Each structure stands twice: as C-alpha cells, then as structure tokens.
Structure 1
Amino acid sequence: MGKSTGFLEFQRLSEASLPVAERVRNYKEFVLHLSDEEAKVQGARCMDCGIPFCNNGCPVNNIIPDFNDLVFRQDWKQAIDVLHSTNNFPEFTGRICPAPCEAACTLNINSDAVGIKSIEHAIIDKAWENGWVVPQPPAQKTGKKVAVVGSGPAGMAAAQQLARAGHDVTVFEKNSRIGGLLRYGIPDFKMEKSHIDRRVEQMQAEGVTFRTGVQVGPLPEGSPVHSDGTTVVSPDQLKAEFDAVILAGGAEQPRDLPVPGRELAGVHFAMDFLPQQNRVVAGDAVPGQIMATGKHVVVIGGGDTGSDCVGTSNRHGAASVVQFELMPQPPEAENKPLVWPYWPIKLRTSSSHEEGCERDWAIATKEFIGENGKVTQVKTVRVEWKDGRMQEVAGSEQLLKADLVLLAMGFVSPAASIIDSFGVEKDGRGNAKATTDGEGCYATNVAKVFAAGDMRRGQSLVVWAIREGRQCAREVDQFLMGTTTLPR
C-alpha cells in the first residue's frame, strides 16, 4: 500500500450531508462525495493486511485494496477501470449499498473501518465528470438473441455483459421507464434517477434494446394488450424468438399484516406509497396520490424500506412519524471479536431517521381502528422474545394515533404469475428454482430459461442483484457459445 502507516495516522471521515432543514424541502440527493484530498487520505487508511476480507465481504468481489491504493496515488483513471472490472454500476452501489465490505474490513476489528463506500462514490463520480464512462460495443456480433425480463440492477447487469459479448439483447420492462425497483422503490433523495438514465444511454450505444410498457406473461383473452394499457408478450413468444431468456424481475410480493381493520382506508403497502412519489418527481401525473402531508404516520417495519417511508413522509410534511419493529432493539455496537468479518446485527440510524422520527422496538400490531371507513388508530402490544419465541406482555396494549399506516415488513417472493407462466419450478420460498453451483448455474428446469437476482434468491441487496446478473450472463454466454470470456 502507498501509506503503510496510514491507518495509524488518519481517522475515518464520513461523507458530508446537507442540513436537514434544507434537504427535506426537496427530493434531491444530499450526500456530498469526498474531495480528492479527502479521498486520498481515506485511501491511505487501507492496511496492507495480507488477506483482504473486504473482497469476500463484497458480493461483487470488488478489488478494494487496489482501488484504495490508486486513489491514494491519485490515479483516478486506473481506479475506475479496476472498479468497473467487477461492478457494472458503482454509482448505484456507492449510494445505496449498506457496505458489507466495510463490516469485513480488517481495520474494523478494533477501529473504524476504511470508508470503502465513500471512496467508491468518489471514483465513479469523478469518472463521469471526466468522460471516462463510455460505451463498450462488441468487436463482433454472435448472431445470438437474448431476452431479459426485468430491468432492475440484475437485468441491467446481465444485459450489459451479454451485449458486450456480442449478443443481441432485448430488455422487457412492464413500467414506462427502465430501472425496476431501483427506479420505483428507491427514493430520489437516496439516488437520483439520472444515474439510471445515463447508463441506459450507454447500454443502448452498446447495442441493448429496451422495450418498456411490455408485460411478459399469459396473454389476456381476445387482445395482446393488458387492462392497464401495457402490451403483453407470452413466454412462448419469447422462447420462440430468442435463443435464451433471463428472468430478472424483482421480489414484488409484500408481506401483509392480516389483523382486524386491515381493509380500512389509509392502510397501504410501502410499495404503493414510495413508487408514486418517484413517478411525481419524474414528472408523471399520479391521480389520488397517497400523501402524508399533515398526517400522523405509522410505519410498521424497521428495515430500509421503512426508513424510506420515513424520509418521504417527512418531505410530504407529516405531522408526526412513528416507526416500530417486531424484533427487540439491537445493541448500539456489535461484539466485533464475535461477529467479524460477517454482517453484524446492531442499531442502524439512517439519514431519514435523523430528519425526524420516533422509533420503537418489540411491538406487535393487534388491530387497526377507524371511523367512517378510515384508519384513525393502531392498537399495539409489547412483546418479549424467549427461546426464539414471541410472547405478548400482559397489560402493555396501547393506541397510537394514525391517519396513514405504511406496511414495510419486507417481501416474500417475486410475482408468481410470470414464474408459473414459463412453467418454471419454484423453491420453498416461491422464487424461481435455479442453482448457482456446478453445471447449468442459473438455469431453470425450462430449456434455455435462466433466472437471476431477486427472481432467484428473493428480496436482497442491489449489489447482490448486480453480482447475479453478471454471473448469469456468463452462464448464458457459455450456454450459447460453448465457451465464455465473461468474468464471474
């Protein structure tokens, strides 16, 4: 490493953010990437640790010590080349990845981890600013055609890799814009959608064709147009027209909460609420948009989706926001000698929480109470966990004022209709069944049909989607050509 004693000399520096009062007035990104000098100092903290556990902690196996050293030496052009060798879209991961690489950092054993995510963010932003991110069209075409169903990070990664290998790739997306849950599930204040748009332009220049407003599934009777206006393409059409098909849709089936009063107006899934605001930011008209303005909002679920609901509600101008979680409150800090280098369970406070939110843990929902068909209160009870089993605490019931309830308890599986329409076998969790070991990785039981991302593994991280898209592309290239030069 360029500065062998840097981890002893320099402290971790987190990226700066705009003040809360300023950022909640709009939906723009508010995290500021490091300056060149700041990034250099943070890169200097990377140890010559011998075994870089960060590489394995990162699902796409980013070559982290190398680009840290290159940033320390201010060789930014080489740094983006190293970063792009494993990650198609570092502007996505540099903004919204929770950074499992940092949890695995050797320095994290007894100190603050290297700020790997902030360095990645700085590298890709500088690459775009300097025009280093350019189309990479193939030297020659193979004449093979591949259909990718779903345009989230898994579908985009698979499509880009296969196009660069010389195949003719068509991406099918049911929505009017490319990006899948990356576009419609991630608020713009965490990642502005211009980052997706310029990657789409790059991929089009590389030969990828995008078809939006197309639903893949069983044809409706009498017309190839769905009731919502989208064109419908059947699985048989895709299998007949293309040499391979990749199912790369997202995990879209949210976990429900079947308690009394669930039918009341004002109780919504988070993924009914968040995409609407993203569409409004994009300039779409959304009649009857779900708004938190002036309302007492209760968010049920303590994960990232719940946090996104908190941030969006604050920007709407909610009167109050309460978020609670069924599990007990995690510790402020993890027991590092016990859990390193694995992802630890510890209290995580997001930027949305900092903007204003009351949080609580070990609470279960008993009932939604309403008047005139609209929710007005949530009845809760405290719970205790003993031997892995949940027990209600007697006498702990309480009522929370609620004009809007957002269910953000995770997702259970991809849409069953598309999996079933292809005749693909499902695993025990309702995902498309496909192995990642041995021969035929990512291949389903249906000839020339593959699955990757949330469609195969269930709800997961953007970085895992990119990894699976890349690996699936390699397997498809091997299937089509009998050999492949695409990286794992």
Structure 2
Amino acid sequence: MGKVTGFMEFERLKEASEAPEKRVKHYKEFVITLNDDEAKIQGARCMDCGIPFCNNGCPVNNIIPDFNDLVYKQDWKAALHTLHSTNNFPEFTGRICPAPCEAACTLGIHELPVGIKSIEHAIIDKGWENNWVVPQVPAKKTGKKVAVVGSGPAGMAAAQQLARVGHDVTLFEKNDRIGGLLRYGIPDFKMEKHHIDRRVEQMQAEGVTFKTGVFVGEKLAEGGITNLAKQTITPKELMAQFDAVILTGGSEVPRDLPIPGRQLKGVHFAMEFLPLQNRVNAGDKLKDQIMATKKNVLVIGGGDTGSDCVGTSNRHGAKQVTQIELMPQPPEEENKPLVWPYWPMKMRTSSSHEEGVARDWAVTTKEFIDDGKGNVKAAKCAKVEWVKDEATGQMKMQEIAGSEFMVEADLVLFAMGFTNPAKSILDAFGVEKDNRGNAKATTDGDGCYRTNVDKVFAAGDMRRGQSLVVWAIREGRQAAREVDEFLMGSTLLPR
C-alpha cells in the first residue's frame, strides 16, 4: 500500500492551523487541510502490514489502506468512492473524530502513525470542491414508510441509507435545525454547520423529508441539549403512519453535581452554554446568552465537552479558564506494547487547551461559594487519590487530608458527560431500558437494533450511551440495514 518504502522515508505531517492568538477572535474552522502533495506523502507512509488493524480500530470499518493507496496515486475520485462506501459523512469524522484508527495503525507501534484522519479530511473536502458528492436517488420506490426520530449523525445515517434503497423516510427533530449534537453541541470552530446543511440538501434530493420543531412523545422531554419544539406528535400517531420507527435521539441527560451551592446563579450544564453560541453564530437573536466575558470560568470535566467549553470561553474573552478532572493525570505516552491496537489512555492536549487554560487532575469539587447575592464566586475543591479496595479489587477515590483549596469562579460549567436518553421518550413508546437507562436493543444475532416494541428500533447514543460521532454513524447504518430487512425480507445494504 502506498509506497513500499514510504514509511521509512517520510515523517508524519500534522495538519497546519491558524495561530491560537488569531483563532480565538472568531468562530470559524482554523485547521488547514493537507494539499495534494502533502496528502500523497502521508498516503505513501501506509505500510503493506498484512493485517490492517486500522480497519477494525475504525468503528465504521473504513477501508483505510485502500484510500491511502489511492491518494498516494492521486486517484482522488476513487478514494472518495472507497471512503463513502463505509462512511456517509466523512466531513464530520474528518474534523471531530478522535481517530481510533490511528491508535490501531501498525506503523504506530514504533513510529508516529499514518495521518489517516488528515487524509480522510482531504479526500472529502476535494470531493465537495469538485462536485463529486451528488445525490444517490433510488431507481424505484418500495412503498414503505420509515420514521427516524432524532437528527444527529445516527439518525442522518439511517435516514440516508434507507432513502437510497427506496423507502419513504421522514426524519423528525425537536429543534429548529437538523444535526442534533453536531449542530448544537460541537462548536463551529471545530466544525462549521454548512457541512450539515449541504448533507441535508443532498438527502432531500434523495427523498428524505425533514420535519423540525416536532417533538415525538407524550409530553416535552425534560433536560436535553435544547428543545425548540413547536409541535408534538405521539408515538401512537407515529406508529399508525409508518411501517417502522428508528429512535436515534441521543443521550441527552447531563450528569449533575448535587453539592452545596448547586442552586447558585452562574452554575450551568455545558449544554446550557455551548448551544447558545452556536445559535448566535447561525444568526439567532438571544436575550439571555450565558457569557464568559471577563469572568473566571471553572470547567468541571476533562473530556471533549470540557475542552469545547474552554475554547468557547476563550472566544468570549474570559478572564481566566480553569479545567479540573476527577481522575488522575494520564501519562504523557501510553505503554504501546500493553495497549496497542486499542485506544490508549494518555495525556491529550486539544486545540482549545493550546489557546489558554489552567488544568488540574485528581480534584473533587465540594461546594460552591455564594457571593452574598445568590451568585457563585468560587468553588471549594480538594485533591483526591485513587486506591485499590482490597475486598473488591476496584479503585476507589478518597480525599487527601488537608488538601482543600479555593478556585475563583464567576461561571461554572458541568462537562461530566451524559447519563442516559430522556426517559419520557422511551417511556412514551414503552421501550424497555437497560440498567443504564438506555434503550434496550441488541446488536448480535436475530433482531439487531430491535426494541421490545414491534417495528420500533433504536440506534446511536440512545441505545449504546454517550459515544463518538463515528459510532453513531456506524449504528445508524447498521440499524438501517436491519429495518430494510425487516420491511423487505432481505437487504443489500452493508453492515
């Protein structure tokens, strides 16, 4: 694959980006796609390794060695066809996927891995630039009608696959725009929303009907990212109108921190904060946007959502941003012989961290301090250590005596993940839940992605719990295959 000796001749080339001091002044994407020559060199680094672990490392099983080789040969159109054969939306994953494929790269055992994500990014951008991404309109209609509830990446992938084999697909979204977490959770500086809009246009040409501002359930869901629904349709009404229903609403209930001072003004979930900026960027006029301008911001949670809060706060012009994490600081480099080809636990510094933040690990938050007027002014924290419980073998947290300290904070953002889908939706359909509160549906054996309710399927974060965009796309594609087989008795859709 690629050039036989390429992995010995060429080094990994990271995508260039705009300097932090410039990019914090706007909300546009700042990563610069590889040019043709740069992408060719990266493709040349792909080894003829015999067993391409990258394929299995990728949740959608992208045929990575093949498109690497095609880019090396500069056959971009064929590379795009190969990429699209497994991934409906590579412009999403090429921007925001953490690239588990690269962690599984064989070259990565002893060198820096092939820049697979940057090659994927280059392929799809060239495809759009050259108008190679076109609607795939079915040759004939089946007469079957499918409802997809939730327009995140799982719902979009399922809808597109089913429309392409001739089903009449209607995609319902409670918010005013399509995209789910992609639209209202991912900041524009990581992925601008025109990428979603042009996929919507493509899918409309393929026969998908989009209905926004429509909540599916008995009553409006509690919590969630946002809820701009103007209309409600009940599960009974939906089941009467469609031959199959796929629930892809995501995992929206955020993890809370019920400690003293939780009720103070200025303490918010990340998903009360991030979507507002995306809406403003889209041209919406908001009266009460939560702003970090000239504030001491405390972000609780060290994952991607926390990083997004850091980047957005810096763009607001925050006075100081601090990010704390309950878990201990991971190592700078993973133990590759121990973890390869699996996703390693190691220290990761995002582009938002590069823009300015004070980070700390193994920190618990004990109390939020009132300024005397009902506003948060600080957080009382303490250092913790993780010790092994001899009885159970599990690691348990314990506070280090005398380690308490204060963090100034005018704005506190919870970015500690999501616990489960909105229960009211699953309860309205009568769908059984697993022990984590997700829709109960298997991915093995007969009846994959089927719930206990006849003709109701579930996929994406609503079924598996909070996860990656690339896993959502995989589940949407696989669920679409199961629905097609359920409706038609057989299917030609790929898993």
Pairwise same-fold verdict (TM > 0.5): yes
Distance 1:229 1:464, change over 3 A: closer
Q: Does 1:450 align with 2:451?
A: no
**How far apart are 1:6 and its partner, in Å?**
0.3
How far the C-alpha of 1:34 sits from its partner, in A, is 0.2
Specify every segment of 5 or more residues in structure 2 that has no aligned partner in the other structure, as ranges: 221-226, 389-394
In structure 2, the CA distance between the partners of 1:228 and 1:331, relative to structure 1 (3 Å rule), is closer
The 5 A counterparts of 1:144-293 are 144-218=144-218, 230-293=230-293
Matched AA of 1:288: D
Matches within 5 A, 1:13-92: 13-92=13-92
Q: Please, what is the CA RMSD of the aligned residues?
A: 0.8
Answer yes or no: is the 8 Å Cα contact 1:219–1:233 preserved in 2.
no
| Superposed CA offset, 1:456-487 (max 9, x none) | 00100000000000000000000000000000
What secondary structure does 1:172 align onto?
A: strand
Match of 1:324, SS state, is strand
Letter in 1 for 2:249: G
CA distance in 2, matches of 1:286, 1:62: 41
The aligned amino acid for 1:284 is D
Counterpart secondary structure, 2:257 = coil
Give the SS at the match of 1:250: coil
Q: Which residue of 1 aligns with 2:95?
A: 95
| Counterpart-to-counterpart distance in 1, 2:58 and 2:10 | 24
- Comparing 227-236 with 368-377, greater Cα deviation is found at 227-236
C-alpha distance in structure 2 between counterparts of 1:2 and 1:275, whole Å? 42
Equivalent residue number for residue 367 of structure 1: 367
The one-letter code sitting in structure 2 at the alignment partner of 1:328 is: P
Q: Which residue number in structure 2 is paired with residue 116 of structure 1?
A: 116
In structure 2, C-alpha distance between the alignment counterparts of 1:209 and 1:469, rounded to whole Å: 17
Deviation at 1:110, TM superposition (A): 1.0
What is the alpha-carbon distance in structure 2 between the residues aligned to residue 199 and residue 60 of structure 1?
18
Judge conservation of contact 2:363–2:384 (CA < 8 Å) in 1.
Answer: yes
Say if 2:428 is the partner of 1:421.
yes
1:51 and 1:76 map into 2 onto residues whose CA distance is: 24
Shift of 1:2: 3.5
**Following TM superposition, by how much is the alpha carbon of 1:267 offset from its aligned partner in structure 2, in angstroms?**
0.3
Correspondence 1:398-477 to 2 at 5 A: 398-477=405-484
> Structure 1, residues 141-198: CA drift from partner, whole Å, max 9, x if none?
0000000000000000000000001000000000000000110000000000000000
CA contact (8 A) 1:214 1:232 kept: yes
- For the residue of structure 2 that corresponds to 1:314, the secondary structure is helix
Deviation of the 1:229 alpha carbon: 5.6
The 1-side partners of 2:177 and 2:29 are apart by 20
Which residue of 2 is the match for residue 223 of structure 1?
none
**Taking structure 1 as the reference length, what is the TM-score of the superposition?**
0.98
Please tell me the residue identity of whatever aligns with 2:378. Answer: Q
- CA gap 1:229/1:84 in 2 versus in 1, 3 angstroms: closer
2:3 is paired with a residue whose SS is: coil
Check whether the contact 2:330–2:346 (CA below 8 A) recurs between aligned residues.
yes
Query: How many Å separate the matches in 1 of 2:312 and 2:219?
Result: 36
Match in the other structure for 2:392: none
- Partner amino acid for 2:383? R
Aligned-partner residue type, residue 416 of structure 1 = K
Contact 2:314 2:356 in 1 (8 A): yes
Give 1:219 deviation, angstroms.
Answer: 5.2
Structure 2 vs 1, CA of residues 144 and 304 (structure 1 numbering), >3 Å: closer, same or farther? same
Q: Deviations over 1:293-323 (max 9, x none)?
A: 0000000000000000000000000000000
Corresponding residue number in structure 1 for 2:391: none
Conserved? CA contact 2:174–2:229, under 8 Å: no
Judge conservation of contact 1:157–1:466 (CA < 8 Å) in 2.
yes
Runs of 4+ in structure 1 deviating by more than 2 angstroms, as ranges, are none
Q: C-alpha deviations, 1:93-115, integer Å up to 9, x for none? A: 00000000000000011110000
Distance 1:273 1:373 in 2: 19
Distance in structure 1 (CA, Å) of the matches to 2:442 and 2:407: 45
Native 8 Å contact 2:154 2:459 kept in 1:
yes
Distance 1:229 1:422, change over 3 A: closer
Task: Give yes or no for contact 2:175–2:229 (8 Å, CA) kept in 1.
Answer: no
Is 1:395 aligned to residue 396 of structure 2?
A: no
Where 1:205 maps in the other structure, the secondary structure is: helix
Shift of the 215–267 alpha-carbon distance from structure 1 to 2, 3 Å rule, reads same
**Are the counterparts in 1 of residues 216 and 235 from structure 2 also a CA contact under 8 Å?**
yes
How many pairs does the alignment contain? 482
Residue deviations 1:346-378, cap 9 Å, x none? Answer: 000000000000000000000000121000000
What is the identity, as a one-letter code, of the residue corresponding to 1:378? A
Question: What does residue 224 of structure 1 align with?
Answer: none
Deviation of 1:80 after TM superposition, in Å, equals 0.1
Alpha-carbon distance in 1 for matches of 2:362, 2:3: 46
Please state if 1:336 is matched with 2:336: yes
TM-score (normalised: structure 2): 0.97
Whole-angstrom CA distance in 2 between matches of 1:432 and 1:219: 18
Matched with 2:224 is: none
SS in 2 for 1:137: coil
1-side partners of 2:473 and 2:90: how far apart?
A: 10
CA contact (8 A) 2:2 2:47 kept: no
- State the SS of the aligned residue for 2:196: helix
CA 1:369 to 1:203, structure 2 compared with 1: closer, same or farther past 3 Å? same
Give the distance between the partners of 1:251 and 1:276, measured in 2 at CA: 19
Structure 1 364/458 Cα, relative in aligned 2: closer, same or farther at 3 Å? same
Alignment-mate amino acid for residue 234 of structure 1: T
2:69 & 2:192 partners in 1: Cα distance? 29
Q: For 1:66-103, what per-residue CA distance to the aligned partner results, in whole angstroms no more than 9, with x for missing partners?
A: 00000000000000000000000000000000000000
Name the SS for the 1:107 alignment partner: helix
CA deviations on 1:216-246 (whole Å, 9 max, x unpaired) are 00058xxxxxx96610000001100000000
Contact 2:68 2:119 in 1 (8 A): yes
Structure 1 CA distance for aligned equivalents of residues 122 and 291 of structure 2: 35
